[in-house]
């Protein structure tokens, strides 16, 4: 399957306009039309509903979108790895969530960069579910995630455990002596779903169903600046906020009548890569 056609499909699926897709790809509009027609002929399925004004993915197009992205990723990764062979004896591809990277991996990455000059190191920061899919597609060697992968041939080791703490700026904290569970609805809570399953569910269940939070963001390190500026409260991993607590920029709010669960971070890898990870002191 021609990857040029796949790339054209991905651009059109994103822009949803043939003329604009052609402009972005620096080709004639007829070229875009022909590439999509060729792709549909190969697949035997219509990928788009189209009229004079709109372009919308069909159900088959939506399904194919995920696979097209993965095929392009595989192509780019294979080319990158073949090029790396010319310059480096080894390569290591790490996937991690943003919070785990900031809390636990920065020093490890620094050590690898200085100790392994023979290794091409790639770090991909993303969300747990997409990283685990990349691991299974062979695009990553190891993933650090809040979600384990329960699947034959893969190992999910707990490599770090964090406390979940409620923090805010000492300048705006109205609960220096502690807060009751029922009082949480009275605070300007800044929500970040940095951890899925148990921890994410725990935080949401502290508030009424379908609660609209004062602020939501999907990156915990981007949320920190708001807290440092005296805006709101948030539950975050203790290791992420400890440096700011030590300097007095943030403080924890004692929980008077409830407790928080521990946050487990997992190191997930294909069992066949175990020896390689040991060589990098990652196991």
The pLDDT tens digits of the residues spanning 239-257 come to 999 999 999 999 999 999 9
Burial class (CB in 10 A: 0-12, 13-18, 19+), 191: buried
Confidence of residue 84 (pLDDT cuts 50, 70, 90): low
Q: Are residues 64 and 153 in the same domain?
A: no
- 249, 178: one domain: yes
Same domain, residue pair 140 and 174: no
Using one digit for the tens of pLDDT, what is the confidence trace for 188-224? 999 987 765 678 788 888 998 888 888 988 888 889 9
**CB–CB of 220/240 below 8 Å?**
yes
Structure tokens at 133: 């899919």
Q: For residue 66, what pLDDT is reported?
A: 87
- Do 175 and 209 lie in one domain? The reply is yes
Whether 41 maps to a domain, the answer reads yes
DSSP designation for 103: I
Arithmetic mean of pLDDT over the chain: 89
The answer to whether residue 147 sits within a structural domain is yes
The answer on pLDDT for 273 being more than 70 is: yes
3-state helix, strand, coil in the chain (%, to 5): 45, 20, 30
What's the pLDDT score for residue 83?
Answer: 67
CATH number at residue 96: 3.40.190.10
Of the listed ranges 26-35, 47-56, 136-145, 252-261, the least confidently predicted one is 47-56
Residue with tokens 């920190």: 224
Domain that holds residue 191: 164-261
Contacts of residue 172, defined as CB under 8 A and 6 or more positions apart, other chains included, come to 230, 231
Number of domains in the chain: 3
Give the Cβ contact number of residue 267 at 10 Å: 22
Task: Establish if 204 belongs to a structural domain.
Answer: yes
**CATH number of the domain that residue 56 is part of:** 1.10.10.10
Q: What is the CA radius of gyration of the chain?
A: 23
Average pLDDT over residues 158-163: 93
Bridge-based pairing of strands 164-168 and 233-237 is antiparallel
Residue 237 inside a domain? The answer is yes
Q: Which tokens hold the place of 181? A: 């569970």
216 part of a folded domain? yes
Same domain as 186, residue 141? no
Domain membership of residue 108 (yes or no) is: yes
83 within domain boundaries: no
What's the pLDDT at 78? Answer: 76
Q: Token pair 């939501």 is at which residue?
A: 216
Which one has a higher pLDDT value, 273 or 167? Answer: 167
């Amino acid at each position: 399957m021609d990857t040029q056609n796949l790339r054209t499909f991905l651009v059109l699926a994103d822009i949803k306009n043939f003329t604009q897709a052609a402009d972005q790809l620096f080709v004639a509009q007829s070229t875009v039309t022909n590439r999509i027609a060729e792709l549909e002929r190969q697949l035997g399925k219509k990928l788009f509903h189209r009229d004079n004004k709109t372009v919308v993915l069909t159900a088959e197009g939506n399904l194919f979108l995920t696979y097209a992205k993965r095929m392009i990723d595989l192509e780019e990764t294979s080319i990158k790895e073949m090029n790396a062979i010319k310059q480096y004896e080894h390569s290591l591809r790490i996937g991690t969530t943003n919070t785990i990277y900031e809390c636990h991996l920065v020093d490890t990455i620094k050590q690898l960069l200085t100790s392994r000059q023979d290794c091409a190191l790639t770090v991909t920061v993303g969300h747990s579910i997409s990283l685990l899919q990349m691991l299974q597609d062979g695009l990553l060697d190891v993933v650090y995630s809040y979600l384990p992968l329960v699947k034959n041939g893969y190992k999910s080791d707990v490599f770090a455990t964090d406390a979940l703490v409620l923090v805010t700026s000492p300048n705006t904290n109205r609960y220096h002596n502690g807060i009751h569970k029922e009082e949480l609805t009275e605070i300007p809570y800044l929500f970040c779903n940095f951890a899925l399953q148990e921890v994410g569910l725990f935080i949401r269940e502290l508030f009424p169903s379908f609660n609209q939070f004062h602020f939501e963001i999907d990156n915990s390190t981007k949320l920190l600046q708001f807290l440092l500026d005296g805006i709101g409260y948030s539950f975050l991993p203790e290791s992420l906020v400890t440096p700011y607590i030590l300097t007095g920029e943030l403080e924890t709010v004692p929980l008077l009548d409830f407790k928080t669960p521990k946050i487990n971070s997992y190191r997930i890898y294909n069992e066949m890569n175990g020896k390689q990870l040991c060589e990098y002191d990652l196991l």
